[in-house]
Structure 1
Amino acid sequence: MKRIKVGMLVFPGFQLLDIAGPKDAFAEVKVLSRGECEYEMMMVGTTRGTVQSSSGLTTVPDRTIFDPCSEFDTIIVPGGLGIFDAFDDPALSDWLRAQHRQCRHVSAICNGLFALGSAGLLDNKLVTTHWMDVPRLASTFPKARIELDHIFVRDGSIYTTAGVTAGIDLSLAMIEDDFGRQMALDVAKYLIVYLRRAGGQSQFSPLLETQASPGSQTVELQQFMLDNLHVGHTVTSLAERVHMSARNLSRIFAKDCGITPMTFLANARIDAARRYLEATELPLREIARRCGFDDTDGFRRTFLRRLQINPVEYRDRFRSKPVREKADVK
């Protein structure tokens, strides 16, 4: 039997699914291999006694970071709101550094990577995390190289993932590394999930996080663009509308929003297209026209480049029921 030992860290306020998802995926390996392969999993607490998750359910760790543990092949650190109370604990950082020296893999799900960062394990590493935690990660650990739109990232022995359910994507990647593609595919089929999800986090996170503050010089211009996505705007035409030079508009817009006017417009067009795909049966050419794309092919290419999934696949995956607007254009 091939056996791989996995240590799963738990701390007060950990995200239960970050542990339960990988734990169930790993457990299926033994079932599907008829006992020929196995992950031996051990829960390791940061405190003694029971540990309560963010959902209120509790677990009893097999060990704590203060107890002797058998050598692990892999460590998994979950995320959860509790990480911000736990991640800079010197005892935890010492334990993670020791595990990193001897383990083949050290991984973090969602914002669990803050604990790896505090232990100095993210310096010059390519990483990802939940899109909402990216700004805090960048300011707390500036030496980390952040991939904004990945479900999971591997850099050497360090694995990091986006939020919550991405822990299942991580576990499937590990199963493929450890026991081969067919085993990972069999586990994915059993769990009824994708072996590899198409696209990145921007499928699930809002693209428009750069709305100007009320009363700013650019908020009215933003609203104008949102109301007229179909128009062929340029920096010059937008600048003329607010009686500025193109250079001055770009400077003020970037100061207020962190991006250029044309980047905001491109984001707004993609965001509007997503809403049409999710909520209507409009044909792609009509969505392209309403959102300001030159033609359907250009719309498809831009959508695929930005979200790593084509519009038809996106509609199939995310369309709401019942459809609220039907096409009047054939």
Structure 2
Amino acid sequence: MRKITVGMVLFPGFQLLDIAGPKDAFAEVRILSQGACEYEMLTIGTTRGSVLSSSGLTVMPDRTIFDPCPHFDTVIVPGGLGVFEVLEDSTLSEWLAKQHKSTRRIAAICNGVFAFGAAGMIDNRTVTTHWMDATRLSSMFPKAKIEPDQIYVKDDRLYTTAGVTAGIDLALVMIEEDFGRKMALDVAKYLIVYVRRAGGQSQFSPLLETQAASDSQIQSIQQYLLDNLHLNHTTTSLARRLKMSPRNLSRIFTKECGVSLIAFLNDARIDAARRYLESTRHPIGEIAKRCGFESADTLRRTFSRRLQISPVEYRQRFRSGNPVNEAVRESGR
């Protein structure tokens, strides 16, 4: 039997699914291999006694960071709002730094990466986290390279993931590394999940995060764009509305919004297309016209490039109501 020892850190306020998801995925390996392969999983508390998760359920850890632990092949740190309460815990930081040096790999799920940052482990590393925490992570640890749209990122022996259910994606990646693609596929089939999830976090997160001040000229342009996405806008035509030069408009827009005017317009069009796909049965061609894309093909290419998922797949996953056969409508006719 090949056995891999995994330590899973628990701190007060941890996200239960971040631990339960990978734990169940790893447990299936022993069942599906009929005992030939196994993950030995131990939970490691940051405090003595039971640890309360963010959902209100408690877990009694097998060990604590204060106790002698076996040598771990892999260490996983979950996310959860409680992670921000332990960032100043030097004992945890020292424990993680030590594990980072001795383990084959170490992983953080969701905002568990903040604990890695506090331990000095992500400087000059490429990492990801839940899209809602990406800006905060970048601000707190500016030496880290953040990839906010990735489901998971592997940088040498350091693994980081997006939020919550991405812990299962992480477990499948590790299972494939350890026991091969067939085993990872079999576990994914048993759990009824994708062995490789299509698209990045952008398919779940809003793209328009920055708005200009309400009394700003730029805010009026933003609103005009949102109300008239179907028109053929240019920087020159928009500058003419504000009676300023295109260069000045571009400069002010980027300064106030943090993105260029054209980038804002492109994101607005994709967001509008997402809303149509989620809430209507309009053909792709009609959605393209309403959102200002030249054609259905242009929408498909832009949507797939930006979100790493096609409009058809997006509609199948996120459209409200009962699923129906959209084959004719998706043709764009």
Task: Name the TM tier (shorter chain).
Answer: over 0.9
* 1:82 counterpart SS class: helix
Deviation string for 1:242-294 (max 9, x for gaps)?
11111111111112111111111000000000111111111111111111111
Structure 1 position 126 matched with structure 2 position 123:
no
| Aligned counterpart, 1:241 | 241
Q: How does 1:75-114 map to 2 (within 5 A)?
A: 75-114=75-114
Per the normalisation by structure 2, the TM-score is 0.96
Amino acid corresponding to residue 228 of structure 1 in structure 2: N
| Aligned counterpart, 1:22 | 22
| Aligned counterpart, 1:183 | 183
Deviation string for 1:166-202 (max 9, x for gaps)?
0000000000000100110011011100000000000
Q: Percent identity?
A: 68
| Aligned counterpart, 1:200 | 200
Amino acid corresponding to residue 206 of structure 1 in structure 2: P
Deviation string for 1:99-122 (max 9, x for gaps)?
111100100000000111111110
| Aligned counterpart, 2:268 | 268
Q: How does 1:135-284 map to 2 (within 5 A)?
A: 135-284=135-284
Structure 1 position 42 matched with structure 2 position 42:
yes
Deviation of 1:322 (Å): 5.3
On the 8 A contact 2:110/2:162 being kept in 1, the answer is yes
CA distance in 2, matches of 1:316, 1:212: 34
On the 8 A contact 1:79/1:109 being kept in 2, the answer is yes
CA distance in 2, matches of 1:7, 1:314: 36
Amino acid corresponding to residue 90 of structure 1 in structure 2: S
CA distance in 2, matches of 1:267, 1:322: 28
| Aligned counterpart, 1:33 | 33
On the 8 A contact 1:105/1:158 being kept in 2, the answer is yes
Amino acid corresponding to residue 242 of structure 1 in structure 2: L
Deviation of 1:147 (Å): 0.7
On the 8 A contact 1:15/1:53 being kept in 2, the answer is yes
On the 8 A contact 1:161/1:170 being kept in 2, the answer is yes
Deviation of 1:87 (Å): 2.2
Give structure 2 stretches of 5+ with no counterpart. Answer: none
* 2:186 counterpart SS class: helix
On the 8 A contact 2:217/2:242 being kept in 1, the answer is no
Deviation of 1:131 (Å): 0.7
Deviation string for 1:202-235 (max 9, x for gaps)?
0000111112232222111111101110101000
CA distance in 2, matches of 1:275, 1:167: 27
CA distance in 1, matches of 2:194, 2:108: 20
Per the normalisation by structure 1, the TM-score is 0.97
CA distance in 2, matches of 1:76, 1:50: 18
Please list every run of at least 4 consecutive aligned residues from structure 1 whose deviation after the TM superposition is greater than 2 angstroms.
none
On the 8 A contact 2:3/2:40 being kept in 1, the answer is yes
Amino acid corresponding to residue 306 of structure 2 in structure 1: R
Structure 1 position 63 matched with structure 2 position 63:
yes
Give structure 1 stretches of 5+ with no counterpart. Answer: none
CA distance in 1, matches of 2:10, 2:267: 38
CA distance in 2, matches of 1:246, 1:208: 22
CA distance in 1, matches of 2:169, 2:177: 13
On the 8 A contact 1:88/1:115 being kept in 2, the answer is no
* 2:217 counterpart SS class: coil
